[in-house]
Structure 1
Amino acid sequence: MSLPQALLDSLSQVTGYQADSFIKTHELGDSPTSIRINPSKIDIPPAHLKIQDPVPWNNNGYYLSERPAFTFDPYFHAGTYYVQEASSMFLEYAVRQSIDLNNELRVLDLCAAPGGKSTLLASLLNSDSLLVSNEVIKSRANILVDNMSKWGLTNTYVTNNDPKDFSRIGGYFDLIVVDAPCSGSGLFRRDPEAVTEWSLDNVAMCSHRQQRILADVWDSLKEGGILLYSTCSYSEAENETIMDWILDNLSAKNIVLDKKDTTVLDQWGIIRTASAKHESIGYRFYPDQVKGEGFFLAAFQKIKADYQPFYQPRVKPQRTKSFKQEKNILTHWIDDLEDKMWFEKNENIYLINPEHEADLKVLQNNLYIKKAGILLGQMGAKDLIPEHELALSTSISTKVPVLDVSYEEAIAYLRKDDFVPDTPLRGWCGVAYEGHILGWGKALGNRFNNYYPKELRILSRLP
């Protein structure tokens, strides 16, 4: 791979940059493969994946010795793990060092698609906390919904809004993660075609866009709240310069993440960098020095609110109707239904945490919500017509019949091919591979209806 000379020249004075090894690493082009397991579904990585080492800065991250065909892994489609670049998993370390995860937090992942950082955050937060994952581009928001549905939690919402829309709820969030759109130079090794799109003009454009995004969302962070800013760019204009811009234009102070232990990041090969004007501290990842791609992260705390604080209104718990019949039906589908809240909108039934009823009202009044909690399905004459989200959720009841299928049958199911499993089951059942549910099917004696979503089906053939 031939890197742009303008990029190499711009990095010559950047902290931690080592030209010879940096260029050689990109020439070799050997990008590591890593996954992060979903602790709500599994405790250890699936046995068939060839685990090499744990990712040191993430409790659930693992490197693989080789990249499998994830498309043909039922465990992947069941949401037991997410394929995520290792450097970006540093977000876990940043969160743990900057905020108390024992508290009930409202968290915003502003530029969330496809969902790597959102699924990571969802695994860190306690069940009383609320995660709002936002994506401004509609098509990418749909992908985000799919990945958050795989993660299966009730305390995660997906919105499709411009960053400035969040200013309507001033001081609402305790933590905001802005993994900002950038020039993407940190991913050149993984995506060599991106090299042709890189330019200094694009870097300048991205820097201005990053400033606008931060300015637009700032009011929604509460006083004392934490901002985590990251990019997959090497350019100072998108990293250290943005740190100085934040301190010049927003009421913030920089947070040093490794203040208590200044040696641990050295051991991991992560570079501590300082901005030119304010000497604020950020963290750089170079692929010749860490086992991962290029990445940058910096942390800030809001020290002063210069807006009218948002006050959460009291919301009287409500049910749209008596729900006696619905409750009897849903008890069959949902574990611990008494500890959860469900509501109906446009004939769809959703499951959320009761602690978030007021939050739901606030978000509905100010933002466009694409996904709230778990979409259960629609109520038929005598039973629930279940949605795919319910099958993948961690709230599904142990009373629901489950059909375990072979690997070949699982792939046929995921391809939405017709097959007739040998089973005494009748009616709705979860189709599972090695105990992990992939979606719904309906057994009708000599026929089996495959209800895997058409838009998610595997289109290619086994290699």
Structure 2
Amino acid sequence: MQLPDLLLQSIEHTKGFDKTAFEEVHASGEQVVSVRMNPLKLPMLNGEWVLGNRQEAIGNKQEEIHHSSFITHQPVPWSSSGYYLSQRPSFTLDPLLHAGAYYVQEASSMFLEQALKQSVELDQPLLVLDLCAAPGGKSTLLQSVISKESLLVSNEVIQTRVNILKENIIKWGAGNVVVTNNDPTAFSKLHGLFDVLVIDAPCSGSGLFRRDAEAIKEWSEDNVQLCSQRQQRILADAWNCLKEDGVLIYSTCSYSSEEDEEILDWVMKEFKVESLELKVENEWNIDEVQSTAGAYGYRFWPYKVKGEGFFIAAFKKKESADQLRIKIKTTQLASKQEAAIAANWISSSEGLTFIKQGQNIAAIPTQWNETIQYLMQELKVRYAGVELGTIAKNDLLPEHALAVSTILKEDVVKVELTLEQSLDYLRKNEINIENPHKGWALAVYNNFPLGWMKLLGNRINNYYPKEWRILMR
């Protein structure tokens, strides 16, 4: 792997940089693989994750995790639910990935959990904006960490990328979320609305060279400058939507100071902020740095940590924000009859409000109803709460999101599939099942819901989303 000479020259005086170690780790061919378990779907017993009906321990920080596709024994030290794998399995061929039991995420970026835990009161209801969210790793992490009384707005500006973000949000299963498809400028009018603003900014990508050698071809000094300018624009456009004493968390996967320390200096100059110092354990080997203006940042070198290159910083906003007056022009509530039909499919409707998204009925948190209705009015909302389905002949035609959600009622008919049957289901192939029940049933693997099927006596209809089907054999 030939690293750009200009990159090496540009970072040679950066704190913690060791050219020999840097080149060796990139030449080694080593691939660090890590996953993050879904605490919304994986219960814990005696400090261990419980994966379906399996008897093995899978989450004890001192013991191995046993899983149908992988085994590991080493936790990611700054994550409460992240684990390293000894080798990379075929994730695509693991039904539990499609069921949302875990997410494949780069280990260094899981440090977002620490930045959040150390800068805000997580037991309080928070309104959180993940501004550059696709494909969804940080959004699913945020959903795992914030309280059930909080709301996450997960945004992606690029049309083609918002679909994978929506898919991963749905698979994760939580209902306290809104997915939007907007440019950062659209949030500037939402004065002081958000408690937390997370910006994992588009960058030149040098921190991912070891994982993605193709990124090397795209790196240039000009691109670093373009990314730096874009990062400043994104920050400026979104700044108004953060409330006074709200927290900004900024991160990149770049080593370049133009996208890291210099951006921190720009934030300190342009806005009234307090840079937040985070506690980092010595054994984590994360470099704490300070920009010229004294802002704290945290850099991950791949020869010091078990992870890729990453940079993160946190600020508290110390300037007043205009009070936003939410005015809803029209409500999107479902009718009483529609709500009653939909309520029959979920474990409890307490604390939920039923709204219409096109023809679909969705369940959203009642305490955020006004806010969500306002966001639907002001932004391009692609998904909100949990989509339950459409009403047809006084019954619900269930959506896939309901199948993999955490609110589906327990007594729904379930059909346990083998691994081979599960993969055929996920490919939308025909599968042979003997079951006396006729009607809707939940296809499950290892006690994890995969999606809907309709049992019709001697055959079934497979309702797995066509656009999500796996093509790998």
TM-score normalised by the shorter chain: which range applies?
Answer: over 0.9
Q: Quote the Cα distance in structure 2 between the aligned partners of 1:443 and 1:314.
A: 43
Q: Which runs of 5+ in 1 are unaligned?
A: 259-263
Q: Quote the Cα distance in structure 2 between the aligned partners of 1:124 and 1:170.
A: 25
Listed as ranges, the matches of 1:168-187 within 5 Å are 168-187=189-208
The corresponding residue for 1:2 is: 2
The corresponding residue for 1:18 is: 18
The alpha-carbon deviation at position 347 of structure 1 amounts to 1.9
The corresponding residue for 1:211 is: 232
Q: Quote the Cα distance in structure 2 between the aligned partners of 1:132 and 1:207.
A: 25
Q: Which of 293, 299, 304 pairs up with 2:308?
A: 293
The alpha-carbon deviation at position 318 of structure 1 amounts to 8.6
Q: Which of 246, 250, 271 pairs up with 2:287?
A: 271
The corresponding residue for 2:322 is: 308
The corresponding residue for 1:384 is: 396
Q: Decide whether the 8 Å contact of 1:341 with 1:351 is kept in 2.
A: yes
Q: Quote the Cα distance in structure 1 between the aligned partners of 2:357 and 2:71.
A: 44
Listed as ranges, the matches of 1:85-96 within 5 Å are 85-96=106-117
The alpha-carbon deviation at position 319 of structure 1 amounts to 4.7
Q: Quote the Cα distance in structure 2 between the aligned partners of 1:95 and 1:142.
A: 26
Q: Quote the Cα distance in structure 2 between the aligned partners of 1:336 and 1:73.
A: 30
Q: Quote the Cα distance in structure 1 between the aligned partners of 2:430 and 2:128.
A: 42
Counterpart check, 1:39 vs 2:55: no
Q: Quote the Cα distance in structure 1 between the aligned partners of 2:250 and 2:89.
A: 32
The corresponding residue for 1:153 is: 174
Q: Quote the Cα distance in structure 2 between the aligned partners of 1:36 and 1:454.
A: 26
The corresponding residue for 2:450 is: 438
Per-residue Cα deviation, 1:191-221 (whole angstroms, up to 9, x for no partner): 0111011011100100000000000000000
Counterpart check, 1:80 vs 2:95: no
Q: Quote the Cα distance in structure 1 between the aligned partners of 2:226 and 2:328.
A: 43
| Matched length | 452
Q: Decide whether the 8 Å contact of 2:351 with 2:367 is kept in 1.
A: no
Scaled by the length of structure 2, the TM-score of the pair is: 0.93
The corresponding residue for 1:374 is: 386
Q: Quote the Cα distance in structure 1 between the aligned partners of 2:276 and 2:130.
A: 19
Q: Decide whether the 8 Å contact of 1:110 with 1:134 is kept in 2.
A: yes
Q: Which runs of 4+ in 1 moved over 6 A?
A: 314-318
Structure 2 residue matching 1:226: 3-state secondary structure: strand
Q: Which of 127, 142, 157 pairs up with 1:106?
A: 127
Paired amino acid for 1:89: M
Paired amino acid for 1:122: Q
Percent of aligned positions that are identical: 48
The corresponding residue for 2:470 is: 458
Structure 2 residue matching 1:338: 3-state secondary structure: coil
Paired amino acid for 1:269: N
The corresponding residue for 1:261 is: none
Paired amino acid for 2:469: R
Q: Decide whether the 8 Å contact of 1:315 with 1:357 is kept in 2.
A: no
The corresponding residue for 2:412 is: 400
Q: Quote the Cα distance in structure 1 between the aligned partners of 2:389 and 2:36.
A: 29
Q: Quote the Cα distance in structure 2 between the aligned partners of 1:82 and 1:345.
A: 27
Q: Quote the Cα distance in structure 2 between the aligned partners of 1:322 and 1:52.
A: 51
Q: CA RMSD in A?
A: 1.5
Question: Which has more helix, going by share of residues?
Answer: 1
Listed as ranges, the matches of 1:110-259 within 5 Å are 110-258=131-279
Distance 1:161 1:284, change over 3 A: same
Listed as ranges, the matches of 1:345-360 within 5 Å are 345-360=357-372
Q: Decide whether the 8 Å contact of 1:265 with 1:271 is kept in 2.
A: no
Paired amino acid for 1:136: V
Paired amino acid for 1:343: I
Q: Quote the Cα distance in structure 1 between the aligned partners of 2:20 and 2:372.
A: 52
The alpha-carbon deviation at position 387 of structure 1 amounts to 0.7
Structure 2 residue matching 1:209: 3-state secondary structure: helix
The corresponding residue for 1:341 is: 353
